[in-house]
Amino acid sequence: MSLRLIALCLLLSGLFSAPTLALNSKEIYQLNEQRVFQVRVLNRETGKKSSIGSGFIVGDGSQLATNYHVISQVVLEPELFYISFTGKDGQEGELKLLGLDVAHDLALLGADEPIGEAIEMSPLPPRGAPIFAMGNPLDLGLTIAVGTNGGILNQTDDSRILFSGNLNPGMSGGPTFNERGEAIGINVATARNAISFIVPSRFLNDLIEQSMAAAINDETDLKAEVARQVLAYESNYIEQLLEGDWPSLDLRQVKLPGIISPTVRCWDNSAKLSAIARYKRYQIRCANKNHVYLDGDNKFVGNLIYEYFWLESEDLNALQFYNLYENLNKDQIESKLDRDVVSNFNCQNWFIEVSSQELKSNLCRREYVEYEGMSDVLFTAALTGHSNQGFFITLIMTGVDFKATLPLIQRFLEQVEWKP
Amino acid sequence: MEALMLEISTRGLHRYQQIDGEVTTIGRALDNDIILSDPTVAPHHLKIIRHSDASIELVNLAEVNPTRVNNQRLQSMLAEKLPLTLEMGRVQAQLIPRDHAVANTRPIAGNGHGKHLFGNSYWTVFLVLACLFFGGMEFFLNSYNTVKWSDLFKYVLRETVLTIGVFVLALSILERLLVNRWEIRQLITAVCLVYLLFDFISMSGHGLNYLFSASWPTTWLHFGWYLTFIPCAIALYLIHISHLKHSRAILLAILIASPIAVPSILQSQQLRTLLDDFSPAARYQNSLSAFNWHLKDSVTIESFVEQAQELAPGEFAD
């Protein structure tokens, strides 16, 4: 009898302690449909949409959060474009820019008067928990996508949450909710089906706080502000890289820096050779994932790419070998930007002594037209003095302060070790 | 009476007619003393009368395309001084005294000298074989896979034999038109020499780029080759082998070199580099050399970083 009583008590206590606040997608949609808007960038001359995204009410009720990439056109051409919002019930109005966090792709916008009740923000739920992304995909109307939390990605410098739902163009800037209808992040990007990314809400809280202290106003030079933020983020990123321990990797007779940061992934990139090739080549390509969206012309900066290339042959004579070696030694930065966006490269070469070997090295830099102080850097170093062994390093960084990259190049070279 | 000669200009070698009668008629009709078969010449175009007092009288007989003497239209005149330049229709001629001095004899290049490149056929054969060898070497040095003999043969046939053949054919036709002669052997020798020199220049350009750690050696060699060497080589050939006058040879050399030089320069990377004020690619010094001869000293990593601080920003294009 007592056992039955205990079992009944346990059952009842279990029923009453269940999470009564868990909402389903329909309830979350209904709770927030008046608080999520379409954010539009409009041409002042034509009055038509140039780009669209989503946004949601935060802060004091007159503020809207969205992605920086949704409204970046206004930064480039503020005299030609302006930002507006439109709600499900036809509510609409113009918005001004209050704050930017370019590194995390966030923007804070402000209306002239309160437009609704702000959405509460919350930290990330446990990995695997259901989360719900709201937004206006492809200008088709407000919708909600259901998925689960895949956790914070360290390869993106902790700035992205993996979301197993489908985000589509137009949903960028919309909120991602937990089961209680609180915003845990902001929709930002998609890679492919059911692999999407969310910006954690803590970065938005920081942006709201910063904007309260010093909001952007009409006097602010927006391009200078964007450049300042990107350079600060990248310089801080390089400092973090320099502070960390760099594990080594071996490529034939050279010991080299390996995965120097959790943000970096390395892949074997060796080309498949034909059976009659009289040489061997091995290639490793490492690249980071924490890119920063700059604007529609430049797309992304913040690339860190380093490639190692080893070439050897027992069959080719020295002249043949060096013909091949020289032909392969022509790595470039892949993005083909126009003269309106970047300057020409300025390059200089050196013969550098590295681990008792001599490397023929080139250092090139180019500058961004619109963003003062921002450069792309290309460094190459090719082994010389061996008749049938060749090796070169290529190191690429985009959207950085040129001088901040030199300590990184120095450490790279210092960690190269030749194994006789 | 002074003996006279009429020098009739023709393509290649001139034609000479002796004027020894009292009256000499020139024209297209068959009853003339000197017959010019050009359709622009009148049946009876010019009469030359040698008087007993040694004076020479010229009388125009043509109504269409009348005779011009020293570029003046002629009715009749007494020649005071020889030589006289005559134009009868399209035919150009000179009336000259028989004892008129002729230019010095021009020696045939290498004639009778076995050691002279243009002197005998052995050199020609040797140079052709050298071209085939270096054509094959070029293929071999740029082959990084196992070499097939058939590929080597095809490459040499396509790149070496065809290149030399096309140039020899075109230039020999040109030479035939210019001086009315075929000089195939000399042309093969000259074209092979230029081919070999081009190979040498290309190879040394790469070496010089590495030596100076710069791109200007190949740029200068490229422009120097097409704008200076090729016209000079053609002019020298026309002067010494074809025996043209200097001024004519230089003019022709420029005309012949232009279709070779202009497309090569227009399509060249070097010209694009000079003209383009913007390139999205980094133009860095990527040359590498098996010999590893370079004038730049090696630096330590610290020195490199110190010097790199001074690397100037890239220049913005207009």
Q: What is the pTM of this model?
A: 0.83
> Nearest Cβ partner of A363 from B145, B288, B308?
B308
> Nearest Cβ partner of A382 from B288, B299, B300?
B288
Report residue A232's pLDDT band, with 50, 70 and 90 as the boundaries.
very high
Q: Which domains does chain A have, with CATH numbers?
A: 17-220 (2.40.10.120), 228-418 (3.40.1000)
Chain B partners within 8 Å of A347 (Cβ): 282-285
Task: Give yes or no for residue A182 having a pLDDT over 80.
Answer: yes
**pLDDT tens sequence across B40-86:** 999 999 999 998 888 899 999 999 999 999 999 998 888 878 889 99
> Nearest Cβ partner of A345 from B213, B283, B304?
B283
Which residue of chain B comes nearest to A384, CA vs CA? B292
pLDDT score for A334: 85
Of all residues in chain B, the percent with pLDDT exceeding 90 is 66
Rounded to an integer, the average pLDDT of A322-336 is: 90
- The three-class DSSP label of residue B167 is helix
Rounded to an integer, the average pLDDT of B291-300 is: 96
Report residue B111's pLDDT band, with 50, 70 and 90 as the boundaries.
low
pLDDT score for A75: 86
Q: Smallest CA–CA separation between A26 and chain B, in Å?
A: 51
Report residue A52's pLDDT band, with 50, 70 and 90 as the boundaries.
very high
Distance CA A261, CA A379 (A): 19
Phi (first) and psi of residue B57, to 5 degrees: -115, 135
Q: From the candidates A281, A313, A319, which should be mutated to test the interface with B, based on the most B CB atoms within 10 A?
A: A319
Partners of A104 in the beta sheet? none
- In contact, A372 and A224? CB cutoff 8 Å: yes
Phi (first) and psi of residue A61, to 5 degrees: 95, -15
Q: Is A176 exposed, middle or buried (0-12, 13-18, 19+ CB in 10 A)?
A: buried
Q: Which of A288, A284, A293, A309 is nearest to A238 (CA)?
A: A288
Distance CA A189, CA A196 (A): 6
Distance CA A416, CA A395 (A): 13
Sign, CA torsion A315/A316/A317/A318? negative
**pLDDT tens sequence across B168-227:** 999 999 888 888 888 899 999 999 999 999 999 988 998 999 999 999 999 999 999 999
Chain A partners within 8 Å of B298 (Cβ): 351-353, 358
Rounded to an integer, the average pLDDT of B7-17 is: 82
Task: Give yes or no for residue A16 having a pLDDT over 80.
Answer: no
Chain B partners within 8 Å of A274 (Cβ): 145
- The three-class DSSP label of residue A184 is strand
